[in-house]
Amino acid sequence: MDERIQAVDVDAEIARTHREEWTMIVAGLVRRYGDLDIAEETAAEAFATAVQRWRVDGVPPKPGAWITTTAHRKAIDRLRREARRDDKQTEAFMLQDDSPAEPTGFIDDDRLRLVFTCCDPVLSVQDRIALTLRMVGGLTVAEIARAFLVPQATMGQRISRAKAKIKAAGVPFTVPEREDVVPRVAGVLAVLYLIFNEGYFASGENVDPIRRDLTEEAIRLARLVRALLPSDSDEDAEAAGLLALMLLTQARSDARLSAGGELVRLDEQDRTAWDRQPINEGIALLDERLEACGRDIRALGRYQLLAAINAVHATAPRAQDTDWAKIVALYNALERLDPSPIVRLNRAIAISEYDSPDVALAIVDQLGEDLDGHHAFHTTRAELLSLTGRSDAARGAYDRAIELAVNDAEITHLMRRRDEVTTTHHTDGITTNEGETA
């Protein structure tokens, strides 16, 4: 086989294995050794070893198993090197034992246990999110830093401190008992939502714009979390709302990219390509909750409202049939719960469709101080400026959005939209974000 082709195949297989099996590998290592640092670092070392070995020996029949075995050996070697006392040395040798591990909770799922470990209340909410994105989502420190709009070095230190705090507090690698789940579920849901969003709108250069491994894993874990919660609780209602939101969003994946790899806006998507099965499941989950609260949207939680917004899009046969009055009402309810700049930005987009771009632009311009470093702000502003005929300002806003964007498919889309402004301003809508918040 040609060496260049072999190298490309190896790189592709390593990327696939990392994308699809990182979480399971790390979670298994944490279960065995009880240490986040050892798990992450030895898994990373095993992947680095694969880069060298597979180019010589070829890709093994079971790449994930090869990585796992290599990581286990590296973990044992590390513990042996670090052993300073007889009991520590004995512990290192005992780690070669392949007997089943002790029970680690009433749900037998390593990945769910890893989520709850990373989301322990000993950490701040921001640290829980960052650590879970690294350990469960497999995102690089650079990718997480971009999501938080902080320097990479700062994020690296934050994640290191979070792991150290988990270790110092002796946080167990376990799913909490049922009575202890409820106080921690809000943080877990927030993290699962961010993992899903990263999969549905992946950051970084030369990566798949849509990472189904992350979106499908977030959906799977959301189902497991629901199984832990009392069926008549507010927490279960929000978990159901998050699951519905994920399903309704995931249903559009096949229509979200053009054949050339460009992002396709919601209003331009081929709705016959939407997957009806997750749409139907998501709407059924949402309807169940709406019936329970007498269809009073004021009783809905954040994820339920976001799911309801997506349901309006999912049930419109054509973009022009969208009930924008209902979407504005849902965003009004969401803003009362979460008056964040991102929610206000999304509400302005809905107002542009329901009322006018001028009214929406006045709202968006008030958000500049908070969202100047957020590409969605400049994208929205560019679209609104274009709709109101201010082409020069629109091109400048597009340039800023392109500078800040981290998804190749969106960058391609923004460049085309900017170039179109050169000759004429747009006369269509600006449904750029599919009713999502980040």
Which CATH architecture group holds 103-229? Orthogonal Bundle (1.10)
CATH topology of domain 341-421: 1.25.40
At residue 3, does pLDDT exceed 70? no
At residue 94, does pLDDT exceed 50? no
Q: How large is the average pLDDT for residues 316-342? A: 96
Q: How many of the other CB atoms lie within 10 Å of CB of 63?
A: 19
Q: Averaging pLDDT over each range in 46-60, 172-186, 389-403, which range is the top one?
A: 389-403
pLDDT in tens, 241-271: 999 999 999 999 999 999 888 999 999 999 9
Q: How large is the average pLDDT for residues 211-219? A: 87
By the 8 A CB rule, do 240 and 285 touch? Answer: yes
By the 8 A CB rule, do 326 and 295 touch? Answer: no
CB within 8 A of 177, min separation 6: which ones? 105, 106
What burial letters (b/e) apply to 68-87, b meaning 16+ CB within 10 Å?
bebbbebbbebbeeeeeeee
Q: Whole-angstrom Cα distance, residue 200 to residue 438? A: 11
The region of weakest confidence among 74-78, 96-100, 331-335 is: 96-100
CA atoms in the 13 A half-sphere facing the CB of 89: 3
At residue 392, does pLDDT exceed 90? yes
| DSSP per-residue letters across 68-125 | HHHHHHHHHHHHHHH--SHHHHHHHHHTT--SPPPP--SS--HHHHHHHHHT-TTS-H
Q: How many of the other CB atoms lie within 10 Å of CB of 424?
A: 10
CB within 8 A of 232, min separation 6: which ones? none
| pLDDT (0 to 100) of residue 360 | 97
At residue 122, does pLDDT exceed 50? yes
Q: Whole-angstrom Cα distance, residue 140 to residue 109? A: 24
| pLDDT (0 to 100) of residue 423 | 53
Widest CA span in the chain: 77
At residue 100, does pLDDT exceed 60? no
| pLDDT (0 to 100) of residue 412 | 93
Place of tokens 């999912």: 314
At residue 322, does pLDDT exceed 60? yes
Q: How many of the other CB atoms lie within 10 Å of CB of 89?
A: 14
At residue 184, does pLDDT exceed 50? yes
At residue 431, does pLDDT exceed 60? no
Q: Averaging pLDDT over each range in 41-45, 293-297, 332-336, which range is the top one?
A: 332-336
Q: Whole-angstrom Cα distance, residue 10 to residue 103? A: 37
Q: Whole-angstrom Cα distance, residue 215 to residue 198? A: 8
Judge whether 103-229 and 341-421 match in fold: no
- Please name the amino acid found at residue 231: S
| pLDDT (0 to 100) of residue 7 | 52
The angle at the Cα of 343, spanning 342 to 344, to the nearest 5 degrees, equals: 90
Q: How large is the average pLDDT for residues 60-87? A: 82
pLDDT in tens, 191-209: 899 889 888 887 666 667 7
Average pLDDT, rounded, for the chain: 85
Residue 156: C-alpha distances to residues 153, 264, 302, 408 (Å): 5, 34, 30, 24
3-state secondary structure of 355: coil
Q: How large is the average pLDDT for residues 87-111? A: 53
Closest CA to 416 of 392, 398, 396: 398
Q: How large is the average pLDDT for residues 6-18? A: 78
CB within 8 A of 91, min separation 6: which ones? 79, 83
**Any idea where the domains of the chain sit in the sequence?**
1-101, 103-229, 341-421
At residue 363, does pLDDT exceed 90? yes
| pLDDT (0 to 100) of residue 244 | 97
* Region of 262 on the Ramachandran plot (φ > 0 left; ψ -120 to 50 alpha; else beta): beta
Q: How large is the average pLDDT for residues 284-288? A: 94
3-state secondary structure of 393: helix
More confident residue, 402 or 132: 402
| DSSP per-residue letters across 367-390 | THHHHTT-HHHHHHHHHHHHHTT-
